[in-house]
Amino acid sequence: MNSTYHPVPILHLLKHQNLFSGIEIHVKIAEKYVLLNFAEDPYQDILNKLLKKSVEHVYLNEEDFMQILNAFNEHMISGQVSEGTFNDEIRANTADALFTMSREFIKTHGVSAELVGSMTEANNSIQTLIKKAENLTSFLKKFEKECSEEFLKITVTNFLAVAVINQFPWKSQQIIEKTILAGMFCDIMLEPKDFDQILSHETTGEELSLELMQHPLNAINLLTQKLDVIPQETLTIIEQHHEKPDGTGFPTGIDISRFNQLTAIFIVCQRFTDELFIHEFNSHKYMESIMNLRSNYRGIVFSNALEALVEVVSIDALKK
């Protein structure tokens, strides 16, 4: 009988050792999973040695993976990671771990309301921390070593998208929730190594593999089995989040006539977040990033989205 293995960032295992006693660590070598310890053996030294070799993930069998996922979920939902219990760094890393592991499980077993609930709890926890921060720059500098870059980008994209939506008269909590779901799932089919290739494509036009160009459609195929959990508006954002109004985007190359206002908001917030990381969180580069977006995303829905985004980031840049 073949076992199913799930990747877990080494960072999470080391920061939450109290949750991970009695687990068996595997590494993936030539498509095979090799056991590094037995459940009764300590694993901290093994993980530290792997980190020194630039190994970022290890693999757990499904039983151990579910044990850890449930432990994170119980900690988050019960309030054991709430404000005043742990420091902010532990809260952020716990949110990242719960979010990342829930998404990983969904990739293998499909989406469920329970797992979406866990990811939403993680998102709400990290959004509380971003609201506490003086500004985006201070938030990102504080947590860049505690969380994965992907999780931080999702966090900032969702934060900006909510703030921009709130500039429009048609704003509602339901619309915000549908947009946040898109942020949580739009890149679920990607591996960490894929993001640099896609960013290079977005900024320089470097050619992408067919698999990467199809990842929005692959995400939709995974999620459409649960339309009662993932609404159609969310799927539309996911499908179009790499499209461009001039028809040069992917996966289908639609033109400006196909975009709605909500999708345009999500796209400019996600692209602005990419620019924020390129410029190492420098708030003095905000307007330069906005100008870059204006040159690449034309049309009334994108103009409206960018105008609202300018309001949001201008206020952020003035914070000390």
- Is 30 a member of any domain? no
Q: Is residue 263 part of a domain?
A: yes
In a domain, 15, yes or no: no
- Give a yes or no: residue 16 inside a domain: no
The CATH number assigned to the domain holding 294 equals 1.10.3210.10
Contact predicate 309/275, CB 8 Å? no
Query: Are the C-beta atoms of 246 and 232 separated by less than 8 Å?
Result: no
Checking if the pLDDT of 107 tops 50, the result is: yes
pLDDT-derived band of residue 83, with 50, 70 and 90 as boundaries? very low
Mean pLDDT of 204-210: 89
| In a domain? residue 33 | no
Task: State the average pLDDT for the chain.
Answer: 89
| Residue at 102: amino acid letter | S
User: DSSP for 272-294?
Assistant: HHHHHHHTTT-GGGHHHHHHHHH
Residue 263 main-chain phi, psi, to 5 deg: -65, -40
- Taking residues 202-220, what's their average pLDDT? 92
Q: Retrieve residue 180's tokens.
A: 């946040």
pLDDT surpasses 60 at 291: yes
Contact 8, 57 (CB under 8 A): yes
Number of CB atoms found within 10 A of residue 105's CB = 19
Is the per-residue pLDDT at 79 higher than 60? no
Residue 307 lies in a domain: yes
User: Helices then strands (H, E): number in the chain?
Assistant: 15, 4
In this prediction, residue 85 carries a pLDDT of: 43
The answer to whether residue 10 sits within a structural domain is no
Give the strand pairing for 5-9 and 26-29. Answer: unpaired
Lowest mean pLDDT among 37-41, 90-94, 211-215, 233-237: 37-41
> CA geometry: angle at 96 spanning 91 and 99, to 5°?
120
Q: What is the reported pLDDT for 78?
A: 62
The answer to whether 160 and 212 have CB atoms below 8 angstroms apart is no
Mean pLDDT check: name the lowest of 71-80, 143-152, 171-180, 293-302. 71-80
Averaged over 77-106, what is the pLDDT? 76
Rounded CA separation 279/258 (Å): 31
Q: How far apart are CA 133 and CA 269, in angstroms?
A: 19
- Whether the predicted pLDDT of 148 surpasses 70: yes
* Residue 217: predicted pLDDT: 97
Q: Is residue 180 part of a domain?
A: yes
List own/partner pairs for 290-295 with CB under 8 A and 24 or more apart.
293/268
- Give every CB contact of residue 216 below 8 A, 6+ residues apart in sequence: 186, 238, 239, 240, 241, 242, 250, 251
| % of the chain residues with pLDDT over 90 | 57
Q: What is the pLDDT of residues 3-17, one digit of tens each?
A: 788 888 888 888 877
The domain total for the chain is: 1
Rounded Cα distance between 165 and 269, Å, is: 11
Q: Find the domain containing 160 and state its range.
A: 133-320
